[in-house]
């Protein structure tokens, strides 16, 4: 129990530091174009996202992510929860619910609030970025969530 409390405290401090440093929306130097992506400027896929899991002081769990695109294209994300043979996917290109913005600039930190409706269990968490043309690779190594 103490180890879990220390881990949650560390994650909360990490999330707080990221929000303090980057703000809730990250960099706002590129205005989003509604809920759709601007046309891709090239053929390169986005990078594999950096991913972290966090908890705020109210107990809400989040997936934090950041990817870059060599052409600077705007990005949308897909968050994948795998539990054994089952997979639950939250795809921002289909439904932006849970994501803190409708579209992200290349290199901008974003977050996805893990829904309370996600069934309890042990999950491997993966994230992919989409630049309007192609999906990039998933994060490596994966992150793990116990809900």
In a domain, 132, yes or no: yes
In a domain, 10, yes or no: yes
Number of domains in the chain: 1
In a domain, 77, yes or no: yes
In a domain, 85, yes or no: yes
Q: CATH number for the domain including 74?
A: 2.60.40.10
In a domain, 141, yes or no: yes
The residue with greater pLDDT, 43 or 6, is 43
Angstrom distance (rounded) from CA 11 to CA 112? 15
Among positive and negative, which fits the CA dihedral 6, 14, 19, 21? positive
Q: What are the tens digits of pLDDT across the range 73-116?
A: 999 999 999 999 999 999 999 999 999 999 999 999 999 999 99
In a domain, 32, yes or no: no
| 25-34, 60-69, 99-108: least confident range | 25-34
Q: What is the CA radius of gyration of the chain?
A: 15
Angstrom distance (rounded) from CA 91 to CA 111? 13
Beta-ladder partners of 145: 123
pLDDT surpassing 50 at residue 30: no
In a domain, 20, yes or no: yes
pLDDT tier at 11, thresholds 50, 70, 90: very low
pLDDT tier at 4, thresholds 50, 70, 90: very low
Domain containing 121 equals: 2-27+44-146
The counts of H helices and E strands in the chain are: 1, 7
Whole-model pTM: value is 0.74
Given this model, what pLDDT does residue 64 score?
Answer: 98
Burial of 12 (0-12, 13-18, 19+ CB in 10 A): middle
In a domain, 7, yes or no: yes
Concatenating the DSSP letter of every residue in 118-136 gives SPSSEEEEEEEEE-SS-B-
């Amino acid at each position: 129990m103490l180890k879990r409390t220390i881990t949650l405290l560390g994650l909360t401090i990490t999330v707080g530091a990221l929000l303090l440093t980057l703000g809730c929306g990250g960099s706002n130097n590129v205005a989003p174009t509604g809920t759709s992506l601007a046309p891709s400027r090239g053929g390169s896929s986005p990078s594999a996202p950096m991913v972290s899991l966090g908890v705020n002081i109210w107990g809400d769990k989040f997936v934090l992510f950041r990817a870059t695109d060599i052409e600077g294209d705007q990005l949308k994300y897909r968050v994948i929860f795998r539990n054994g043979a089952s997979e639950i996917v939250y795809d921002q290109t289909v439904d932006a619910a849970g994501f803190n913005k409708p579209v992200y600039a290349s290199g901008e930190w974003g977050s996805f609030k893990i829904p309370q409706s996600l069934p309890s269990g042990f999950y491997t968490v993966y994230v992919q970025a989409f630049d309007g043309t192609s999906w990039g690779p998933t994060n490596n190594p994966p992150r793990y969530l116990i809900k």
